[in-house]
Amino acid sequence: MHFGVDEAGKGPVLGPMVAACVVAPTDALPGGVDDSKRLSPGRRESLDAALRDHPAVTVGVARIPVARIDDPGTDMNSLTVAAHAEAVRDAGLDRCRACPGVLDAGDVDAERFGRRVVSSLGGGVDLRAEHRADAAYPHVAAASVVAKVERDAAVARLAATHGEVGSGYPSDPTTRTFLREYVREHGTLPECARASWKTCEDVLAAAEQSSLDAF
């Protein structure tokens, strides 16, 4: 029995960050589990369903909402630590204390990231953090799949409410267009936008300049 933890949605300008923890015997993981970025959406969804349906697999999920991300009293490194710890708790902290785990490090200093997660859990957890762990450890890859599916579902809900919003990443032209049009129509950012992100600051500044030019 081992566990792995990973997150999705650390960098987007829209929607939550999601972390997942998968606890399982290695032979209970579905075949073909891999870093979620290497898999098609359909494959991720089928693997997510297989993980959740297997009686020997436990899945924990943590969601960090936009309001928490925009809180000036925190930062993304601390929130990523919190997300990993909350996902472990959701999977069952006692269960995770009984087996070793690996985290996909969310900090340039992987050892520091691991120490901070252990501290957040109150100690007593055998885990380590490594960069690119989702490509090297099947339990972390499984967690990356669950986190990505959860994150994609959150973006799909936004699209159902607002229309096409793109992937939510700042580099996505569709996402930037959505933000510009929303601000133009409503005069403010949508609640799903991370207002503290530079992308949002740029959109608001451009809208203000456009209003000044029109005046």
- Would you list which residues are annotated within the binding site for a divalent metal cation? 6-7, 104
* Binding-site annotation: residue ranges: 6-7, 104
- Cβ atoms within 10 Å of 168's Cβ, excluding its own: 25
In angstroms, the first-to-last Cα distance of the chain is: 66
95 in Cβ contact with 122 (< 8 Å) = no
Look up residue 176 and give its amino acid: R
Q: Cα Rg for the chain, rounded, in angstroms?
A: 19
20 in Cβ contact with 150 (< 8 Å) = yes
Structure tokens at 178: 């959505």
Adjacent-strand bridge partners of 104: 130
Strand order in the sheet with 17-24: 58-64, 17-24, 2-8, 101-104, 127-130
129-156: string of b/e by CB count within 10 Å (b at 16+)? bbeebbeebbbbbbbbbbbbbbbbebbe
